[in-house]
Structure 1
Amino acid sequence: MGVAAVIAPAAVFFAVGGDVHLTARPAPESEPVIVEDTTPCCMEIVAAAASTAGPSIGQASLAAAPDRMVAASRYRTVDRSLPVGMAPENGLQVKTILASRAISEAFPEISSIGGVRADALRWHPNGLALDVMIPNPSSSAGIALGNEIVSYALRNAKRFGLQDAIWRGVYYTPGGAQRGGYGHYDHVHITTTGGGYPTGNEIYFR
């Protein structure tokens, strides 16, 4: 299955106000996270160990090979596929799975990510949303971790098909941030454009 099948485009929907957790005494809203642009990488080529073994029977002599073939034999590719992440993947769409796997690997501090669940709004039931649970979310370390996850999601917005992220009263989209009554003080809510349901043959890359 090609990478294009994994990242097939889907219609973009809005989830403003979705999955808002209300408290009797809402915490103060945070300043929007500032995002620094980075370019994710999917494949890596590294130098392979030099072989001291001679050619086996029936093997062509390396001395007769073109220089480019000899040079290529000194390199190997490294598997850049992502392992299964913290979110249960049953019912998630492909871009949501990619976001879950990438966040799980990038932030080993995260031990729980919610995915598909019953909800009045369609984002979670349709496999379009994740709840990245933050350890000690009201502590300075927890707030910093949530900020880092929002920044990471926004930097990878195109790759994840990111529609929005919500954290500590701020609603983020690839186009900007908006403060005001959005809740989500114990987890980072992430919504993707989905990309369709997996067939089982997908490979998710770093």
Structure 2
Amino acid sequence: MGRHELARQRRRWSPIALAVMAVPVAAAMTAGGGVSPVAQDTAPVIERAASPATLVAAGIAPVDTAQWRAVEAEPVVQALPVGVAAESGLQVKTILAARAISAAFPEILSIGGVRPDSLRWHPNGLALDVMIGDPNSAEGIALGNEIVAFAMRNADRFALQDCIWRDTYYTPGGAQPGGYGHYDHVHVTTKGGGYPTGSEVYFQ
């Protein structure tokens, strides 16, 4: 076998290696064509060219596949849109709770907020009235129960003080039945967090 034949064999590259090498070359070419290199989405090109397991098997990249899967499975953080509650006069944690409930329960068509009351919660923007359609039906009762459970799961995030639903007073520490009313809506109280400045972004 001659030296030229050996040279040709040494120049053979696997398709995986070529795919990996193509990324910086493609980025360099587009950078000169009026496209900002910052905007180049090069990482997904590598992902599409070969899976992490294939790259490891080929000895090209020491990728931790478990970590890769964890990153891929990480939920996307999105801003919450304005929900059905009127937000004027509400404090920031109350707004967060109102938007999150609207996003999680699109069947809720009305959430009350600031209103005159002998107690301070509603006038000070600390409370919501999540109105339940057909509240005495099995479906309405189940929906109210789900909203209470949702609020309790997010108690820290909402700075939740309490919920009241169907004669039961709920706090993150437990439930106390008897004498509380609220059969047509779920009352949600937060600790407020202060009034918004207008620059807040509320996340899911």
Give the TM interval when normalised to the shorter protein. Answer: 0.5 to 0.7
Q: Percent identity?
A: 69
Tell me, in whole angstroms, the C-alpha distance in 2 between the residues paired with 1:84 and 1:70. Answer: 35
Q: Which segments of 5 or more consecutive residues in structure 1 lack a partner in the other structure? A: 1-49, 63-68
Q: 2:32 aligns with which of 40, 46, 57?
A: 57
RMSD across aligned C-alpha pairs, in angstroms? Answer: 2.7
Question: For residue 123 of structure 2, what is the aligned residue in structure 1?
Answer: 125
Shift of 1:85: 1.0
Larger radius of gyration: 2
- State the match for 2:102 in structure 1: 104
- Where in structure 1 do 4 or more consecutive aligned residues deviate above 3 Å? 72-75
| 1:58 Cα offset (Å) | 6.0
Instruction: Kindly indicate whether residue 134 of structure 2 is the aligned counterpart of residue 136 of structure 1.
Output: yes
SS of aligned partner of 2:143: helix
Question: 1:84 pairs with 57, 82, 85, which one?
Answer: 82
Aligned letter for 2:32? Answer: I
Deviation at 1:149, TM superposition (A): 0.2
- CA shift for structure 1 position 166: 0.3
Superposition TM-score, scaled by structure 1 size: 0.66
- Once residues 93 and 137 of structure 1 are traced to their aligned partners in structure 2, the CA distance between those partners, rounded to angstroms, is 27
If asked which structure has higher relative contact order (CA below 8 Å, sep 6+), I would say 1
TM-score (norm 2): 0.67
1:34-53 equivalences under 5 Å are: none
| 1:71 matched to 2:43 | yes
Q: How many correspondences in the alignment? A: 148
Who is 2:112 aligned against? 114
Aligned in 2, Cα 1:193/1:72: closer, same or farther, shift over 3 Å?
farther
CA distance in structure 1 between the partners assigned to 2:126 and 2:44 by the alignment: 42
Secondary structure of 1:121's aligned partner: coil
Give, in whole Å, the separation in 2 of the partners of 1:178 and 1:78. 37
2 CA distance for matches of 1:139 and 1:78? 36
In the alignment, the residues of structure 2 paired with residue 157 and residue 79 of structure 1 have an alpha-carbon distance, to the nearest angstrom, of 19
Deviation, 1:71, is 2.6
Letter in 2 for 1:155: R
More helix by share: 2
